[in-house]
Structures are given as structure tokens and as C-alpha cells.
A and B are shown apart, each in its own frame.
Chain A
């Protein structure tokens, strides 16, 4: 099992450019998440999905869009990148949260994005 993988590992964009970050998991998890990590801010939830075809906003969703067309993939898009989106992006997945069951979140290795 590869667990949670993220593509690409590094990327440099110019202001206004667009890009898509890909997250893939092979654990058949229902839930997937995108977080960003900034110095002094901790990790913050951008968007999440509780199943194929569903997405929802997290704490800091502005400037990002997401799609979950397949259960194993969760895409994060930046339509017009801004310097404020320079960050490290982490994807995570977890099994569906049933009462009494463990729903540990598993994280990918991260994507380091710089917007100039």
C-alpha cells in the first residue's frame, strides 16, 4: 500500500497562473481532506469530502476549488494563484466516522508551493 500520495512535490507559479494538486489514496477511505500549513499558523483545513462526488468548505476555502470524481482521488485547484497561497499543502484521508470506530487521519508527504 502506498497510502496517501501527492503530486507534485514542489511547484513554483507566477501570480495569476493556475494549477491542480492531485491527492490519491489506496486505502478505500471515504473521507479526504486538504490542509495548508503556514509558519506560525499551524495546519488549516481548506476543503474536505465525505464521499465520491461530494465536497465541502473548511476553514480557509477562498481561492481554491476541489473535485472528488473518483473515490480514491481528491483534486485541489488554484484558478489564479496569489502570493498569499504560498504554503505547504497536505492531503489526508480517513475511513468513514461511525460511532465507536477509529477514524484516524493519514497524511500525504505534502506539496511545497511557491507563488511569485
Chain B
């Protein structure tokens, strides 16, 4: 059974800092890995998706990397802004025994201090 862990659970940094959010997964047989953002009381917004054949994806100030062999993914946020404050969720797409869906980590709650 796939398990996804996110470290740290919470992070508070001053505006302007570069930061890294970590995600690890136990089953390397993933077909993709998705990073989401969730604002309080809201739904999930997809940030980046990395296919299993890829090593990284970039969108603006965000960069996500994937290392299947070590079971790790990182989300790098450059020049953080107060508007980046949210919970960031990592989810691994795994297919096994006919099941098909995302396995989520519990998230990293990020606060960017103005």
C-alpha cells in the first residue's frame, strides 16, 4: 500500500526567502506525482504534475523534482510572498490491483510572514 509523507508539517518563513517542501512515498511504481495548493476552506488547485518519466517541472517561481529511485519529490518555491501562504499537498498516482487514484500526504501548512 502506497504511503505518502510530507515534511515539515508546518513552516513559517519571512517573505522573500526560498524554501523547499519535501514529499516521500513508499512505492516507487508511481505513474505521476502531483503537487496541489489548498487555501483554508477551499478546494485543491493543481500546481505541478510530474510524469514518472520526468525529473522535474517548473511553473513560474515553483519547481518540483521527482526521484523515483529514492521515493522523493521536492517543491521549491523561490522568492516567497505572503500570497503563497496555504497548505501544500503532495499526491502520488499509483495503480495496483485495479485501483487507480491519488494517495495524498497530510500536507505542509506554509505561512509567509510579511
- Measured CB to CB, the residues of A under 8 A from B are 31, 33, 35, 40-45, 48, 50, 56, 58, 90, 92, 97, 100, 102-110
For residues 52 through 77 of chain B, which have their beta carbon under 8 Å from a beta carbon of chain A? 53
With A43-B104, A45-B102, A56-B99 given, is the CB distance from A107 to B44 under 8 Å? yes
Q: Quick one: closest B residue to A112, CB to CB?
A: B41
Q: Quick one: closest B residue to A103, CB to CB?
A: B32
- B contact face: mostly helix, strand, loop, or mixed: strand
Contact call A42/B89, Cβ cutoff below 8 A: yes
When distances are taken between beta carbons in the complex, the residues of chain B under 8 Å from A42 are 4, 89, 104-107
- Measured CB to CB, the residues of B under 8 A from A are 4, 31-32, 34, 36, 42-46, 49, 51, 53, 89, 91, 93, 95, 98-107
7 contacts between A and B (CB under 8 A): A33-B101, A35-B101, A48-B100, A56-B98, A58-B101, A102-B51, A105-B46
Q: Quick one: closest A residue to B90, CB to CB?
A: A42
With A56-B98, A108-B43 given, is the CB distance from A43 to B89 under 8 Å? yes
Bound Cα distance A33, B91 (Å): 14
Bound Cα distance A47, B30 (Å): 19
Q: Lowest 6 CB-CB distances: which A-B pairs, in order?
A: A45-B101, A107-B44, A43-B104, A109-B43, A42-B106, A42-B104
With A104-B49, A107-B44, A109-B42 given, is the CB distance from A41 to B100 under 8 Å? no
